[in-house]
Every structure is written in C-alpha cells, then in structure tokens.
Chain A
Amino acid sequence: MNDTAMPALHLLNKAPSHPRFQACLAAMDPADQLLLLENAVIALVDKTASLPAGTRALASDCEARGLSDKVAASALTDMADMVELTDQFTKIISW
C-alpha cells in the first residue's frame, strides 16, 4: 500500500485565520482523522469554519478557552486518547 492511500492523523494547532488551517483541511482524505489542539479549537465555534465529520479536539485546550460546554462530548479528547490516536495511525501530520 503506497503512502498516499494510508489514512492519516492530522494534528492542527493553528487558528482558523492561519494559512495552514485551510491547508490542513484541503489535505484531508475521508478516512483521515483531524485532532484540533491549542488555537485550532476555536474553529469549533466558528460559524465560518466547515470541519470534517468526526473532528476531535483536546479537552484541556477547550476548557482553557471556555469552550467545554460548546463542544460535543464525543469530540472532547483527553491526553490519553490523544496518545492512543497517535498509536492507531502510522501516518501522522502535524500542521
């Protein structure tokens, strides 16, 4: 299986206004998993952002920014879950 077909985990910590935010979304395939960190979590309450289904976000970054009650519980990911995700995906791209 060549590398492009392999599903990837995308770790995105840029705010929506950062060019790399759109670059990440553009690079994602349906089978990929997106995990939002740090500034990127504000995209969850950005009316202009369109995030792939199943997008997850680091719970501590959401709580820090007062977003915990604005995010679906299923999307909130703690550190252990994040480590688990990095174990599940062979291909990991940090944006």
Chain B
Amino acid sequence: MNDDSSADTVLIVIDRPPYGDWHGREALDMALSLAAFDRPVAVLFRGEGVHWLRPGQNASVIDQKTVSRNLSAATLFGVEALYADRSTLARFQIGETEPDVTPIVVDPDFYHRFKKVVQL
C-alpha cells in the first residue's frame, strides 16, 4: 500500500467560475467548516473554477466581495492545501495567481487519490 497520507482528507472541488453563482462560495464555506472541526480538508480548483485564482480581481464593481481574500485565509483556517488543475490553468491562460494564494499545480486525475471528494 503506498503512502496515502491523504487517505482521510476530504477534497472539496470547485469547478465553477466565481461571481456567476454561489456554488463556489458554498463549497469554500464547507471546507472552512470541516477545517474548523479539525477534519483534514483540501480544495481543488479545476475546470472553470480556476478563475478563482486569477490575480487582479475587483468584484466591488459588481457589488460583490473579491473571492481571492477568502482563499488567502483558507490555509490560515486549517485548510491543508489549495490545488489547481494544470490543464485548465493553461486553457484559461492563468500564469501567476494572487500573491498570497499559491496553489499546488496538479494533473487532472489528482482527485483519484482521495476517498472523499465533494462537488457542489
């Protein structure tokens, strides 16, 4: 059996772009809640969800809060790691991310390592 240290980590997947609907925010809230109860949890951004990671967002112009601030807090609140899908980062031409949000870039099949995967 290989080292599956991520055996009981819950992986929350965000694959919808920010601001268009509330699914992503609810998924992040779920991750923060799990972390608050000391459950190991990580978040993977893939598909159109990688737009959460784009730098220079300014959602005040559409009367919303910029999501990247929530992300930088996530690891402080106990979320183990933020992951980002290599292929969709390339598809949407996202080179660098917000300064204090440094996701670990992974391959598309990365989520198979986890026993519990949640997508809203």
Contact = CB atoms under 8 A, between A and B. Distances in A.
Interface in B64-103: 64, 66, 90-93
Given A65-B54, A66-B56, A66-B58, A38 B20 contact: yes
Contacts of B48: 15-17, 39, 42
Interface stretch (B2-10, B11-19, B32-40, B109-117): B11-19
Interface in B19-58: 19-21, 47-48, 51, 54-58
B78 to A, nearest CB: 27
- If over half of B's interface residues share one DSSP class (helix, strand or loop), that class is named, otherwise mixed; here it is loop
Contact of B91 (A48, A63, A66): A48
Chain B: number of interface residues, binned into ranges: 20 to 34
A84 interface: no
A23 interface: no
Interface of A: 13, 15-17, 38-39, 42, 45-48, 60-61, 63-70
29 contacts: A13-B20, A15-B17, A15-B48, A17-B47, A39-B16, A39-B17, A39-B20, A39-B21, A42-B17, A42-B48, A45-B92, A46-B91, A46-B92, A47-B91, A47-B93, A48-B91, A60-B61, A61-B62, A64-B19, A64-B58, A64-B61, A64-B62, A64-B66, A65-B19, A65-B59, A66-B57, A66-B58, A67-B54, A68-B56
